[in-house]
Chain A
């Protein structure tokens, strides 16, 4: 087998030049998914454009009303960033339970979203936040709202010639609480059987605004709009939480696969949504 070309640009401009010159080349970020596909012979590469030496793509910046995250920021950096922990606690929680520490050191947030697994750890938090995925090509920059980026299992809104540059996220208003949880069989490394994220703003016991994201139960991380409608404007109660959890279980669209049956995944969503709403409600009431 002929060895592929290996290119290691140090600027985004150079990377885009290489991509124009070698349009068939594979963009390589953390590589923790790609290298496994190589090992299993599910991926053939004619060339690699290794993005990990581009410093301008690796940063977390607090810009007042928003936070910018470079696409090559590692999951470990997300997990440990004081800015992320303060502004988007649930994104840091999601990073913390992604794969293992050895993988979080390598894996990047840009890679996690481009891989577009329905169970992607960062997916649910991102679709619940107002913000954009910013991609760059030789023709300029394009902004895609975070909730429109995922298109299907392994598919995202990234055209040939484009590279994900950064994620810009609006901060949540004061008083908004967040939570992310996943259900899995092993403490580490296991991908989620189901995961969920929730953003909740309470006024006393009244639900002013809720956002609920469900993962691994639809082709893309999905927003549970019917469940949100059950809760918005209502006074929190055990009965309301129960109704919301049942609505979430019925509106998600899971499949049966090697890891779990569709019915079991619905049960997990019921449990996750109930647990999250209860946790945020009790925490908010304190």
Chain B
């Protein structure tokens, strides 16, 4: 039997009927057509499906859809600011050429956002630790770390 859930994604409220064993990543992608989170491994290894749930990063493939009831979720689509400008993380990923095939990028950027939310001035080591659950098969890690450091620097300048 399907059960009703309500969740807020990127500021918009959605009411959906879900199967108890369905996963948040599938509800986002298949029901809400929010396809930023990627379903890479479906077992929490790759980080491509990372979203921010109630202020904290989670692998959306490891969350049962009913567990997302009442939660606030941010995906890569929600990083852009209301005036249409990109988040500094998005800008710096472009500036640092931190995107190759792009598959890991939504997860990488969301995870970076989650890090900067609790630690606005990370060291390179802290960035690498925070992103250690996100795989990039193009192995563009150095550019990704550079991008996050540059985004943190930019936000610091804007304070």
Interface residues in chain A, defined as those with a beta carbon under 8 Å from any beta carbon in chain B: 3-6, 8, 28, 31-32, 35-36, 38-40, 45, 48, 50, 52, 76, 99-103, 105-106, 186-189
Contacts and interface: CB of A to CB of B under 8 A. Distances in A.
Interface string B25-58: 0000000000000000011110100100100111
- The size bracket of the interface on B is 20 to 34
B21 interface: yes
Contacts of A4: 20-21
A202 to B, nearest CB: 30
A3 B19 contact: yes
Contact of A45 (B21, B47, B128): B21
Contacts, number: 90
A102 B44 contact: yes
Contacts of A187: 128-129, 132
Interface in B117-150: 128-130, 132-134
A3 B2 contact: yes
A187 B21 CA distance: 30
Nearest to A96: B129
B48 to A, nearest CB: 11
A260 B146 CA distance: 34
A6 B17 CA distance: 13
A31 B129 contact: no
Give the residue among B47, B130, B132, B134 with the most A Cβ atoms within 10 A. B132
Nearest to A1: B21
B86 interface: no
Given A39-B43, A45-B21, A105 B129 contact: no
Given A101-B133, A189-B133, A35 B1 contact: no
A215 to B, nearest CB: 20
B117 to A, nearest CB: 12
